[in-house]
Amino acid sequence: MLQTHQNEQLALVRESAKQFAQEFIKPYLMDWDERQYFPVELFKKMGEYGFMGIIVPEQYNGAGLSYQEYITILDEISQVCGSIGLSVAAHNSLCTNHILSFANEEQKKKYLPKLATAEWIGAWGLTETGSGSDAGGLATTAVRDGDYYIINGSKTFITHAISGDVAVVMVRTGKKGDKRAVTAFIIEKDTPGFTAGEKINKLGMRASETASLFFDNCRVHKDQVIGVEGEGFIQALKLLDGGRISIAALSLGIARGAYNCALRYANEREQFEEKIFNFQDVGFKLADLATKIDASELLIRRAGELKDHNKKVTKEGAMAKLYASEVAVEVANESVQIHGGYGFTKDFPAEKFFRDAKLCTIGEGTSAIQKMVIAREIQKDA
């Protein structure tokens, strides 16, 4: 970790998250993974620890911590289970942070205390079946009807779609393709015409609930608009700058978890009367992985530092997310390889890290999208 952040508070936060993960997550993670069970009760417990409103100010019942603590908490939790880390990231950086960043004071007072304490679980909806990376091509529409909007359409790949108590969703209120024709709405679970689909059966991140959201003549009052009509897409893009730090921190934790189990195994497993760590192929491989993990953290901490000082983080967030997510996949892959045949079994944790890691290169903007963002930013410096 960066020397400048080795302060007492960060150390306390790290220890708290580490102990929580060991006590409340580790004993159950494979059962949750096998059953695709989303442990709502665990997130209620996290609310007691302040892990569901990490960057929310104390005036809204949040923990009032910085992005450095946020990165640390996600890192520690994800070292044990990427699924739980993903849900913590989605709740904090998307739904909750959208309201914190762009909602009016009345909306903040109504929703943030419930979200920050996990009385309510939050969801966030941008992706649609026909618009993944092309986030501007939304088909879900909202038509004004007096003081209400009538919403029709659907969202897909939504974290907490079924169990979420409230969702922030981006909906088209003008011409398709017009980035100033998208509006963000806060929609509560029991709103008529607002339903969730079946849980999606996934390769990894199986304990993090994913499903579709459906809107069938869903009537939403104008008071549920975040900001003003037409600002939703701009809000979403700004939010994703910070959200990429979350996925980068998630990636860091998964990489560390995969690396640590490979390191332990390499120092225990013997072949030809020698610990396999002492074979140059294995020892050098682990040396490379350790270096890349540290490089990931440096990029993530830099982005977090900029975010904490309210500075632009578009390029740095994309760099951190791109590099850390690709490193997580590499480390998880090599961890399975170092475990040999045992790495292909569920008796060792390597296979779960392997399955969970891949989502990090896809969610909140694929690696290709990150390169597009970085390229656009560096061109400005030419």
Active-site residues: which are they? Answer: 364
- Is 33:207 a contact under the CB 8 Å cutoff? yes
From 202, 201, 195, 200, select the one nearest 164 (Cα to Cα).
Answer: 195
CA dihedral over 195, 198, 203, 207, signed as positive or negative: positive
3-state secondary structure of 212: strand
DSSP 236-249: HHHHHHHHHHHHHH
Sign of the torsion formed by the C-alpha atoms of 56, 328, 160 and 23 = negative
Q: Which one, of 93, 201, 98, lies nearest residue 157 by Cα? A: 201
Buried b (16+ CB within 10 A) or exposed e, 87-116: bbbbbbbbbbbbbbebbeeebbeebbbbbb
Q: Which two tokens stand for residue 62?
A: 């949040």
